[in-house]
Amino acid sequence: MRGTRPGQIIPKGKGKWLVKVFKGRDGDGRRKYVSELVHGGKKDAERVLMNKLKEKNEGTLTVRPKGTLSEYLDTWLETTAQPSVRPRTMCDYTRVVKSYIKPHLGGARLGRLTSVEVRGMLVRLREQGLAPRTVRMAHEVLRNALEQAVSDRLLPDNPARSSKIKKALPQKLRKHQVTIRSDQVANFLDVAEGDRLQAFWVLQLMAGLRPSEGLALRWSDVTENAVHITRVLVDDRSGGDLYFAPPKSESSRRAVVVPDVVVQVLKEHRPRQAQEQLAAGPEWRDSGLIFCTPTGEPLRQDYVRRCFKKLARAAELPTELTPYSLRHSCASLLLQRNVPLKVVSERLGHASIALTADTYSHVHPSMQKQAADVMGELAG
């Protein structure tokens, strides 16, 4: 019985060569080959053959799929992404695939996709004037999808992962966080007094919660001097749904000790809510939420944002401030007063101290001045 050659090059016309590598036999004993049509000279075909024989020896030889990237991405979203990410993240992935990846690369053969084509997509997205964050997200989604293709042995390597592609990505600019200064806190609290959401504003500033965490709090989550973060309120603006979900990470599930001022405003908030419940009558939804609509429903973040903008104007605060700025303000004020970084990180529910340090590395020019003064004193 004649042996099977490990690889061969077959002329297919001028400047065309079919490279075939014997991969093994299937369950019925039939030969299986990995084939690739090479355009160019015979030396180009020989180079492809050598690479494939090397992949075979290393156990990484794959049969490149014939389907399009668009078809693969649909499958990846359904079978890999959807079971493993939050619904909100899934909406973002689907939007990115539909709006940014498919229009540029959807028709490309998955098995033939190159890093040059991926780099071209990134360049075109930048030329469209998209925000750097959007371009980077499009690359991240594509890279993650193709990483799964490598794991499934559909591709030998990931064409979206290379040093040249990194150079095509826009720089990740650090967003300057606008916060409430220490000399503005008292005025902000004075202006917030009597506001329907006064307790929410005070809690967010003093505890450093994410808005989605504060809006998900129930009265049962409050103990004598702490609030317990066990869930978040997800506002899916694309679908119009509001739903509760687990915190974004295990470190986000935490108990935050609050000062007496928070305890007091919560005590004052409860009877006001009871009056609203009485006024709502049978329309009241008993959700147990601390912060809700006059009928007990969860609050939408757009509504909270509008209320905060009105309050910030009244307190003569920067117009760039948002409800999330109260969280940043809490962290900045604590760090300015030399509260240990680890304590601040745990209070915020960050996954690591490194994340806290990176996020608030700008805090604050005054701290850098303080450090300079200390060293100056040592020098005499």
Q: How confident is the model at residue 369, as a pLDDT? A: 64
Q: How confident is the model at residue 163, as a pLDDT? A: 76
Q: How confident is the model at residue 52, as a pLDDT? A: 79
Contact criterion met (CB below 8 Å) for 131 and 110: no
Q: For the chain, list residues with pLDDT below 70.
A: 1-4, 26, 60-65, 173-175, 236-240, 363-372, 374-375, 380
Among 34, 30, 43, which Cα is nearest to 66's?
34
Report the DSSP pairing between strands 241-245 and 232-236.
Answer: antiparallel
pLDDT tens profile 300-334: 999 999 999 999 999 999 999 999 999 999 999 99
Buried b (16+ CB within 10 A) or exposed e, 144-169: bbbebbbeeebbbebbbbbeebeebb
Q: How confident is the model at residue 1, as a pLDDT? A: 40
Q: How confident is the model at residue 49, as a pLDDT? A: 86
270 SS3 class = helix
pTM: 0.68
Distance CA 211, CA 294 (A): 19
Handedness of CA 64, 69, 70, 75 (dihedral sign): positive
Q: How confident is the model at residue 38, as a pLDDT? A: 80
Q: How confident is the model at residue 13, as a pLDDT? A: 85
